């Protein structure tokens, strides 16, 4: 059952990444150099849409809050984001889009995946040396959300129902997606 | 490009994929599976990387500190590659193939080596592009593992759940990627 879900959901995700243009490094680079906002608009709307339905689903009992998986906040998160960002701009791929790009025959995507395997291996080797440093120190308690979720995770915004907080953020994201120009020229 | 969805339809489709995943199983994430594949290859060439160990939470232990963390949960996935997360990531390749075969966007031969924006800036030689994407891939996965996730796990899945970590990651990633892209490729 789990494997069938993996096959279906993974196929769907690859299909959608390709269809929206995210596997095309040209569109990623043009987003990052603030020239073409097609992907930025799609990503913001995607987060807004998924977040709204997720919190509505949890509030109505349709979605099990136990399925949430909130990652920890620690100093390595923004720092790792910076390192990732440099490579992201250089290549125009992130891990998911490069894997997906293999399915449309992009050779530079395949080389990116090889570089990624080397980078991940390098981290496996240095992890023992950095695991007790400030890099792993938690920020705001670690696994926290902004909105309340009725799960084991603590929420930073108290006294307001989680669905209100989540829908407010989603509306802001959707508004930015809608108002953002498609490209620099238009 | 021909065959590509517009931002609205594409955004809704992207959101649906992330929503369905958390509804049925758990939030989408990709970058951990690079570690699992490394572990599988490492385990093939070395005997003592991953071992069964009934004393740990997962039932597996590793001589590598990273594979061994959180009760050996990565070690367990290395020993059992037919698990949800690994199959999910492999299936993504088929998903793209399916989209390409059903009137999705098709990259040209030149695009399959380097995108237009790269060729305009750095020329057509493939070795330059391959060197750059290898280095880029190295940095992206090193950074993703330090951060504990990548664009899909931290940013999309994280911000969907209103996780603080998703925002911290997005600030770091875009904060570095935007100036880097402008320096490398210019605005024109």
Residue A18 has pLDDT above 60, yes or no: yes
Q: Does A10 touch chain B (CB under 8 A)?
A: yes
pTM: 0.96
Whole-angstrom Cα distance, residue B92 to residue B30?
A: 10
Whole-angstrom Cα distance, residue B62 to residue B81?
A: 15
Average pLDDT over residues B134-152: 97
Q: Does A167 touch chain B (CB under 8 A)?
A: no
Residue B154 has pLDDT above 60, yes or no: yes
Average pLDDT over residues A155-184: 94
Neighbour tally for A162: CB within 10 Å = 21
Q: Tell me how close the Cα of A23 comes to any Cα of chain B, in angstroms.
A: 9
Give A42's contacts in chain B (Cβ within 8 Å): 5, 7-8, 10-11, 14
User: 3-state class of B107 per DSSP?
Assistant: coil
Please report the pLDDT score of residue A1 as a whole number.
Answer: 62
Residue A175 has pLDDT above 90, yes or no: yes
Confidence at A186, pLDDT banded by 50, 70, 90:
very low
- Percentage of chain B surpassing pLDDT 90? 96
Whole-angstrom Cα distance, residue B29 to residue B155?
A: 10
Per-chain mean pLDDT for chain B: 96
CB proximity list for B86: less than 8 A, separation 6 or greater: A6, B33, B36, B37, B77
Whole-angstrom Cα distance, residue A125 to residue A105?
A: 31
Please report the pLDDT score of residue B67 as a whole number.
Answer: 97
Please report the pLDDT score of residue B2 as a whole number.
Answer: 83
Whole-angstrom Cα distance, residue B177 to residue B140?
A: 11
Q: What is the pLDDT of residues A63-77, one digit of tens each?
A: 999 999 999 999 999
In a 10 Å sphere around its CB, with 0-12 CB exposed, 13-18 middle and 19+ buried, how is residue A158 labelled? exposed
Per-chain mean pLDDT for chain A: 95
Q: Please tell me the least confidently modeled range out of A17-21, A91-95, A157-161, B91-95.
A: A157-161
Please report the pLDDT score of residue A183 as a whole number.
Answer: 79
**What's the start-to-end Cα distance of chain A, in Å?**
48
């Amino acid at each position: 059952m789990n494997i069938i879900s993996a096959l279906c959901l993974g196929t769907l995700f690859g299909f959608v990444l390709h269809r929206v243009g995210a596997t095309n490094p040209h569109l990623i680079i043009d987003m990052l150099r603030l020239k073409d906002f097609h992907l930025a608009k799609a990503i913001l709307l995607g987060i807004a849409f998924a977040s709204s339905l997720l919190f509505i689903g949890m509030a109505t009992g349709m979605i099990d809050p136990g399925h949430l998986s909130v990652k920890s906040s620690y100093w390595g998160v923004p720092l790792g984001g910076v390192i990732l960002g440099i490579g992201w701009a250089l290549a125009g791929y992130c891990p998911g889009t490069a894997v997906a790009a293999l399915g449309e025959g992009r050779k530079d995507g395949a080389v990116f995946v090889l570089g990624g395997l080397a980078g991940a291996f390098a981290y496996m080797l240095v992890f023992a040396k950095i695991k007790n440093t400030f890099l792993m120190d938690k920020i705001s308690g670690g696994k926290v959300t902004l909105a309340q979720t009725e799960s084991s995770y603590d929420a930073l915004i108290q006294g307001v129902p989680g669905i209100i907080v989540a829908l407010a953020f989603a509306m802001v994201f959707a508004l930015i997606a809608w108002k953002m120009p498609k490209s620099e020229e238009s | 490009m021909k065959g590509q969805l517009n931002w609205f339809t594409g955004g809704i489709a992207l959101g649906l994929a992330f929503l369905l995943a958390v509804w049925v199983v758990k939030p989408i994430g990709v970058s951990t599976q690079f570690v699992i594949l490394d572990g599988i290859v490492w385990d093939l060439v070395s005997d003592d990387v991953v071992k069964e160990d009934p004393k740990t939470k997962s039932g597996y232990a590793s001589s590598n500190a990273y594979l061994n963390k959180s009760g050996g949960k990565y070690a367990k996935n290395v020993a059992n590659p037919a698990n949800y997360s690994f199959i999910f990531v492999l299936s993504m390749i088929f998903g793209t193939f399916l989209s390409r075969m059903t009137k999705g966007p098709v990259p040209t031969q030149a695009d399959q080596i380097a995108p237009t924006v790269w060729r305009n800036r750095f020329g057509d030689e493939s070795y330059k592009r391959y060197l750059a994407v290898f280095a880029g891939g190295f940095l992206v996965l090193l950074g993703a593992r330090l951060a504990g996730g990548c664009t899909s796990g931290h940013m999309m899945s994280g911000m969907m759940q209103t996780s603080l970590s998703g925002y911290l990651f997005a600030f770091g990633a875009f904060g570095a990627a935007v100036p880097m892209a402008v320096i490398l490729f210019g605005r024109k």
